[in-house]
Structure 1
Amino acid sequence: MQINTFVRNVTFRTPSGDTILFNDKGDPPAQFDVMKLSLLPDGRVAKEKVGSFHVLSDGTKLLHINSSADLWGPYYKEMPQSLCNEPCAPGYRKAKIEGKPSCCYDCAKCADGEMSNTTDALSCFRCSEYEKSNKQRTGCVPKEINYLSYTDTLGASLTSIALVLFITTSVVLGIFVRYWETPIVRANNQNLSFLLLISLMLCFLCTLLFIGRPTQICCLLRQVTFGIVFTISVSSVLAKTLTVIIAFNATKPGSKLKKYVGTQLAIVLVTVCCLGEIVISAVWLASNPPFPKADTLSDPDYIILLCNEGSGFFFFCIIGYIGTLALLSFIAAFLAKDFPDRFNEAKNITFSMLGFCSVWGAFVPAYLSSKGSRMVAVEIFAILSSSAGLLACIFVPKCYIIFFRPE
């Protein structure tokens, strides 16, 4: 303690040239050797100097490590981490471990639609609604655009089926024109058969409005066109059925139905039914018309282009209106199927309406449970299958009689 009082604030130079400085408390400058301790197999501890640390007289602190020294061998190949784990790479975020210090954490991969491009990111950033995260979750890339295209396998298949059925219906129409005056064609009102065939051709063609990139004009036209041409088809079938019933009952003595036999009643019925459909469509387009829409939520990897129907109520009003006409046709045809007429087609209409109602009955749950281009494909399939059912059940037997059982 006595010596300490004499060395306070003392500075002197050693014979080796080093300057020694004692501070106001008599403490010498800090100077330490950096040692490496290794535990030998026999239990002894080997010491090796690998550097030094000292403070100069002006307060500068110097740390020197011998570059040639093996700092971590033979037990370590590289500098040990001072953390509990490696830093989180880009594409991951820190996830706290309950009960552990803040320096200990898990690395959680960013969720789909999120990304991080820095090391040890605290959180991930969400991509915009028109983008998705890449596989590494280190960046955002544009989503692919998806819709029912003519180049897709599904779109091309439906297009081919529609064209084949259109051509088939055209051939049947040509056959009926060729054999216009035969009894089988003239039976049950040949004009209604002609109108029904043309409307079926339009039904097959209207499915092409559902395929391809949705546009404003296509969204406005496709449901309305489908509703009107289908109403013409089903109301023609209903008129043909009523023609059978009226013709059979008009033959009874004293029947007042004789004045309704002919084409006038059928034309009036088809016109009235079509006017009802046109009114529903007009109100729909005037109040809440369909429009093209980009759906970014249904599929995280795609932007689905589709037509928003605007009002689901009016869409199902059209379906319900057509279904009501089909149900009336089925009931009327079922009641008339046993009438004793050689050319009575009520039985064929019964089967066609049964298939028609079955298809559209299954359509509603299938349509509501589908999304994106699959929803469009479900409606196209319903249109094609129900129209093909009408064509097959009503006109194939007539063609068979024309060619194989001519009168």
Structure 2
Amino acid sequence: MYDLVNWQLKPNGEMDFVTVGKFDETTHASGKKLQIQEQDILWNGNQTKVPLSVCSSICPPGTRKAIRPNFPVCCHDCVACTAGKISNQTDTIECVSCLPEFWSNAERTACVPKQVEFLSFSDTMGITLMAISLTGSLSTSLVVLVFFLNRNTPIVKANNSHLSFLLLFSLTLCFLCPLTFIGQPSKWSCMLRHTAFGISSVLCISCILGKTIVVLVAFKATLPGSNIIKWFGKAQQKTIITVSTLVQVAICAVWLVIAPPRPHRMMPRESAVVILLCDEGSLVAFACVLGYIGFLACSCLLLAFLARKLPDNFNEAKLITFSMLIFCTVWLTFIPAYISSPGKYATVTEVFAILASSYGLLGCIFAPKCYIILLRPGKNTRQQIMLKIPTVRF
């Protein structure tokens, strides 16, 4: 028979020998030979809890074992799994990477679907761009109303009213185009956003090109012996605008048939979000759409620049020149910004370029005329207009 004695250190420094159990070999086989009162045992440090007899504790799920150099094998550190990796067992040696469309939860114990990110109508950026877009379309509509109510005044007639109304209509479309860039990309929205932008922009630039040609013709027609007016009547202007726009329509049609824009999911492994974008499909077709817009804009800018030798009091060409400078500057800046912008910010860059160029055209071409019509009606007379521009009736 044996007694189990626990050496317990008293607060005064004396050692107390406490019997906490016994072992009786003579006990019948069916009885318990070993009896222990565990509640009476005090371990090192006067602790009642049994200490672990290992160097390191068990690594819980969400962590992995990292062996300590120059220590026994049982000695290790528990290191949390990095973002995007998990461990769902204890004492795991390596963490497992989640699939591209999944991400690790906060505890690093399970893979959960990544958050979807796109330019939404509900986030701050989407609401801001939508407000700017609707403000621009509303402003254009107000200009249309002002021009319509004053359509018989000299300043509206002298600035080729039918081209002005068509230009305002195309500007309204340009301001509404950014709305197709906001929201979750789909097959139809991706095709609509790029084609609508390309066609409406060309229609707008074609109208400005027609106005620029009219500016030159109006001045040349006043020269003695000039018969150039018969080559640039309303029918010819409509032909220029129609042909220019149909070329862009043809480019967009080929684009949609060969390799149309389509939704694309970007799933970077180092990010917790899935980015939804519209892939251009054919970069060559996208470049052709932008290149054709740039060609018309440069042509319009060149013609307006050639009109710089017109009399100083003739300011229509100057307004067109300044507006096209803004337009070309915005889109030249857009190209490197679009390429370098990550994720949905590439879409934001494109929308900003559309809005900035549209506001530039609206402000430069129509703001001075509305200023005269609304605030300086005394200058909106035939005598004042005749002093400023050579009026030609088509």
TM-score, with structure 1 as normaliser: 0.81
In 2: Cα distance, 1:323 partner to 1:100 partner: 69
Higher relative contact order (CA 8 A, sep 6+): 2
In 2: Cα distance, 1:232 partner to 1:38 partner: 96
> Does the C-alpha gap of structure 1 residues 87 and 245 become closer, same or farther in structure 2, counting only changes over 3 Å?
same
| Superposed CA RMSD | 3.0
Q: How many residues align?
A: 375
For 1:375-386, what aligned pairs fall within 5 Å after superposition? 375-386=346-357
1:363–1:382 CA contact under 8 A, matched in 2: yes
In 1: Cα distance, 2:283 partner to 2:80 partner: 40
- Residue equivalent to 2:380: 406
- Residue equivalent to 1:156: 127
Letter in 2 for 1:314: A
3-state secondary structure, aligned to 1:337 = helix
Unpaired segments ≥5 residues, structure 1: 1-30
- Residue equivalent to 2:183: 212
> Does the C-alpha gap of structure 1 residues 35 and 267 become closer, same or farther in structure 2, counting only changes over 3 Å?
same
In 2: Cα distance, 1:380 partner to 1:394 partner: 21
Q: CA deviation at 1:75?
A: 5.3
1:313 corresponds to 2:284: yes
> How big is each residue's C-alpha offset from its partner over 1:337-383, in whole Å with a ceiling of 9 and x where there is no partner?
34117554110111111111121122122222223332222211211
Letter in 1 for 2:222: T
In 2: Cα distance, 1:80 partner to 1:350 partner: 86
- Residue equivalent to 1:244: 215
2:154–2:380 CA contact under 8 A, matched in 1: no
3-state secondary structure, aligned to 2:177 = helix
- Residue equivalent to 2:56: 85
In 2: Cα distance, 1:320 partner to 1:195 partner: 23
In 2: Cα distance, 1:298 partner to 1:348 partner: 50
Letter in 2 for 1:406: N
In 2: Cα distance, 1:322 partner to 1:168 partner: 24
1:246–1:260 CA contact under 8 A, matched in 2: no
Given candidates 218, 227, 230, the residue that maps to 2:198 is 227
- Residue equivalent to 1:337: 308
> Does the C-alpha gap of structure 1 residues 406 and 127 become closer, same or farther in structure 2, counting only changes over 3 Å?
same
2:41–2:48 CA contact under 8 A, matched in 1: no
Deviates more, 1:167-176 or 1:151-160: 151-160
Letter in 2 for 1:287: I
Given candidates 188, 198, 207, the residue that maps to 2:169 is 198
- Residue equivalent to 1:7: none
In 1: Cα distance, 2:124 partner to 2:21 partner: 73
Given candidates 114, 134, 150, the residue that maps to 2:105 is 134
In 1: Cα distance, 2:303 partner to 2:339 partner: 30
In 1: Cα distance, 2:33 partner to 2:350 partner: 81
> How big is each residue's C-alpha offset from its partner over 1:71-91, in whole Å with a ceiling of 9 and x where there is no partner?
514455533333322221221
1:110 corresponds to 2:81: yes
Letter in 2 for 1:399: C
> How big is each residue's C-alpha offset from its partner over 1:274-297, in whole Å with a ceiling of 9 and x where there is no partner?
122122211211111111233332
> How big is each residue's C-alpha offset from its partner over 1:71-122, in whole Å with a ceiling of 9 and x where there is no partner?
5144555333333222212211112233333212221111112222322222
- Residue equivalent to 1:283: 254
Q: CA deviation at 1:45?
A: 8.7
In 2: Cα distance, 1:336 partner to 1:41 partner: 106
> How big is each residue's C-alpha offset from its partner over 1:151-188, in whole Å with a ceiling of 9 and x where there is no partner?
22222222222122112111111222222233322234
1:337–1:344 CA contact under 8 A, matched in 2: no
- Residue equivalent to 1:268: 239
> How big is each residue's C-alpha offset from its partner over 1:111-150, in whole Å with a ceiling of 9 and x where there is no partner?
1122223222222233333332221212233333322222
In 2: Cα distance, 1:391 partner to 1:360 partner: 16
Unpaired segments ≥5 residues, structure 2: 382-394
Identity %, equivalent residues = 46
2:212–2:304 CA contact under 8 A, matched in 1: yes
In 2: Cα distance, 1:164 partner to 1:392 partner: 13
- Structure with max Cα Rg: 1
1:89–1:118 CA contact under 8 A, matched in 2: yes
Given candidates 82, 98, 121, the residue that maps to 2:92 is 121
1:133–1:139 CA contact under 8 A, matched in 2: yes
1:50–1:71 CA contact under 8 A, matched in 2: no
> Does the C-alpha gap of structure 1 residues 344 and 388 become closer, same or farther in structure 2, counting only changes over 3 Å?
same
2:100–2:269 CA contact under 8 A, matched in 1: no
Letter in 2 for 1:145: V
TM-score, with structure 2 as normaliser: 0.84
In 2: Cα distance, 1:163 partner to 1:131 partner: 37
Letter in 2 for 1:236: C
3-state secondary structure, aligned to 1:327 = helix
In 2: Cα distance, 1:223 partner to 1:298 partner: 29
Given candidates 109, 115, 124, the residue that maps to 1:144 is 115
1:36–1:48 CA contact under 8 A, matched in 2: yes
Given candidates 140, 150, 155, the residue that maps to 1:179 is 150
In 1: Cα distance, 2:270 partner to 2:193 partner: 25
> Does the C-alpha gap of structure 1 residues 213 and 130 become closer, same or farther in structure 2, counting only changes over 3 Å?
same
2:67–2:76 CA contact under 8 A, matched in 1: yes
In 1: Cα distance, 2:331 partner to 2:80 partner: 46
Q: CA deviation at 1:44?
A: 10
Q: CA deviation at 1:47?
A: 7.0
